[in-house]
Amino acid sequence: MLFSKEYIGYLSRQVVRRLTEAKMVRTETPAVLQERVYQGLLDELSLEDRINDEARLILESIQDDMLRTGASYPEMFKKIKMRLVQQYKAVL
């Protein structure tokens, strides 16, 4: 992930503060809203890491076939990752 969890926490606090100041959001419990924003940001920002992990698992399962055909690991990783990105309709 590109950002530390501390920075994501900072971003979530700032988002909640600015939205409430602009009267775009009303909340009785800003801490709960901040936690929800934090979880949403964390989920979105860690999506690429989860896709990379899944691509590695797929490559491990077809490792023997890749050795037999002489396929390149970096090329196959890119292809599988792009297929997973399309499957999840993700924007990286």
For residue 62, give the DSSP letter.
T
- Nearest by Cα to 2 from 38, 60, 42, 59: 42
Residues 36 and 61 in one domain: no
Give how many domains the chain has, as a whole number: 2
Model confidence at 91, pLDDT cuts 50, 70, 90, reads confident
The answer to whether residue 34 scores a pLDDT higher than 90 is yes
Query: What is the pTM for the complete model shown?
Result: 0.72
Residues 36 and 51 in one domain: no
User: What is the model's pLDDT at position 42?
Assistant: 95
Residues 54 and 66 in one domain: yes
For residue 92, give the DSSP letter.
-
Range of the domain at 79: 47-88
Give the span between the Cα atoms of 10 and 22, in whole angstroms.
18
For residue 90, give the DSSP letter.
-
CA 44 to chain CA mean position, Å: 4
Residues 53 and 35 in one domain: no
